[in-house]
Amino acid sequence: MSEHEELSARRPYNAAADFVDANVARGNGKKTAFKEKDRALTYGELQAASCRFGRGLEKLGLRPESRVVFLHLDTIEFPIAFWGAIRAGIIPIPLNTLLTPEQYAYMLEDSRAEAILISPQLIPSILPVYPNGVSQ
């Protein structure tokens, strides 16, 4: 196998296994993985929720290597969505929440994303990009 073939060969690795599942397997399922003000998410809860989210993306018709833009606030839902996308082989593209509609338009076009996940509070910032509205 040439060096190029070796580097470009598909591997069955999935980062969710190392960053989420391995913590559960080591007995850390009840330990806090993420905390937000008065809410917390354990590794076990993150594992279960990210599996559900990944299956949900698949049910929407997204497949491995599909791209999904995240315009999402720093809430507990973000790691669930991020790791759920990774788990499903879908490429998450987190965007800065402080950009202009023009910058979002460029990034959305350039990313070739098939879907966008938006925190409800941020919908007004993306509406100028979609004059016909967004579906929720």
Q: Which residues of 24-58 are buried (b: 16+ CB within 10 A; e: fewer)?
A: beeeebeeebbeeeeeebbbbbbbebbbebbeebb
Amino acid letter, 42: T
Report the alpha-carbon distance of residue 58 to residue 17 in Å, rounded: 18
> pTM of the entire structure?
0.86
Give the domain ranges of the chain.
13-129
Question: Kind and range of the H or E element at 5?
Answer: helix 3-8
Return the CATH number of the domain spanning residue range 13-129: 3.40.50.980
- pLDDT for position 118: 94
Residue 134 sits at the vertex; the CA angle it makes with 120 and 39, to the nearest 5 degrees, is 20
pLDDT tens digit sequence for 24-56: 999 999 999 999 999 999 999 999 999 999 999
Q: Identify the residue with better confidence: 8 or 15.
A: 15
* Residue 62 neighbours by CB distance under 10 Å: 21
- pLDDT for position 13: 86
